[in-house]
Amino acid sequence: MPSKDPERTCQRRTKRDKSNLAKSSGRETYRTVSVDLGQGDQVGVVEARKMPGLFEGFGWRDVQRGQEAIDGKELRYSDQTGEDWAGHAIADVLGLDSSTDRRRVRKIIEAWIASGALEKIPKKLPNGKTCPILEVGKWACA
């Protein structure tokens, strides 16, 4: 089924295959754009496109709001836990969709854990098993 979003249908990704084991530069993303020739004609041109970064558009205040969203709620670390996943609360605060932006939200959570803004703590469940939950680590401040 073709995509209805014209932005998605005009994008292409390339990856250089290498025969040696040296690290490659990664993927390059291109998109097709229309260029007006000035005579009433238009031609399709391929241009390079820089993909947005993980934290593009977010600042330290968003970290604070994310911390406030999970503070004291014992939300789970794993995204396989349904509505108890901490990513739902963080995605709501950041203005992301927790289902379509799941991968980005997981990476944001991992980065916040690595920075100390969040901590992954084991919690004992009533059935005797343990599961990791997220708690606020060092509060983000100005």
The per-residue pLDDT for 84 is 83
* Proportion of the chain above pLDDT 70, given as a percent: 80
Confidence of residue 21 (pLDDT cuts 50, 70, 90): low
Q: Torsion angle of alpha carbons 67, 68, 74, 80, nearest 10°?
A: -60
Residue 6 has pLDDT above 70, yes or no: no
Alpha-carbon gap, residue 67 to 58, rounded angstroms: 14
Residue 26 has pLDDT above 80, yes or no: no
pTM across the whole model: 0.64
The per-residue pLDDT for 1 is 46
Is pLDDT larger for residue 20 or for residue 57?
57
Residue 27 has pLDDT above 70, yes or no: no
